[in-house]
Structure 1
């Protein structure tokens, strides 16, 4: 978790330096900053709930009805 946090900090620092160097608009800075913080918060939530949440079960819940429909039509 510490390594991932350091990676997000490095990404934020590189983006911040690039935006300041190239004089980006404040709106662009807010959008990029919000997206980095949102992705980090989502990662932390997934890390915290990793025992209760499985990405495989989420994907299966989404695509199982489609798979059933495709297999039903192919018969």
Structure 2
């Protein structure tokens, strides 16, 4: 792996967070099956990417230096 990316763009990180959340919710009597976990991880990753794009665009408008 020679390329890097932000942590929030990693489907592995989102999948791990969802798995952790599913394990914690199971302690309180709630169950998420594998399919629901996959869908939730995908939705969270897509949402994080969208939020990242908005933050990047807003940051560009607030930047001190211009671009060419």
Highest CA radius of gyration, 1 or 2?
1
Answer 1 or 2: higher relative contact order, Cα 8 Å, separation at least 6: 2
Larger fraction in helix: 1
**TM-score w.r.t. structure 1 length?**
0.41
Q: Given the two structures, how large is their TM-score scaled by the length of structure 2?
A: 0.44
